[in-house]
Amino acid sequence: MNANDLKQTLVERKAELSERQERVARHTRHRDEPLPPDFAEQAVELENAETLVALDREMSQELRQIDHALRRIETDQYLDCEQCGKPIVEERLMALPYATRCVQCATES
C-alpha cells in the first residue's frame, strides 16, 4: 500500500470539502436577510438553515479527521492502529482514508 497515494486522496477530499464549506458559508450569510412574510416559506427557510448548519458541522468534523490523517502520514504512523498498534488493512484505508483504528478496535468501541 502506498501512503502517498492515500495522501493525495486525502488532499483532494480536503480541497473538495473546503470548497463545499465555503459555499455553505456564503449561503448561510444570506440568512441575515429578513424572512419571507409567508409562514410556509419561513418554515422552509428555517429548515434549510438547520440543514446547512448540520452539513457544516459534519464537514468540519471530516476536515479535522483528514488533517489528523495527514499528520499521521507525515509522522509515519498512518498505517498503524492508534489503539493497538497493529496495521490497518489496506481495504479499510481505501474505504475510509482517515481511519485511525483497525477494524477490530473500531468495532470494539
Closest by CA position to 97, among listed 53, 59, 75, 67: 67
Closest by CA position to 3, among listed 104, 99, 82, 103: 99
The DSSP secondary-structure symbol of 109 reads -
Check whether 36 has a pLDDT greater than 70: no
Length of the chain equals 109
Domain ranges within the chain, ordered by starting residue: 3-77
What is residue 30's predicted lDDT score, i.e. its pLDDT? 59
Q: How high is the mean pLDDT of the chain?
A: 87
Check whether 41 has a pLDDT greater than 80: no
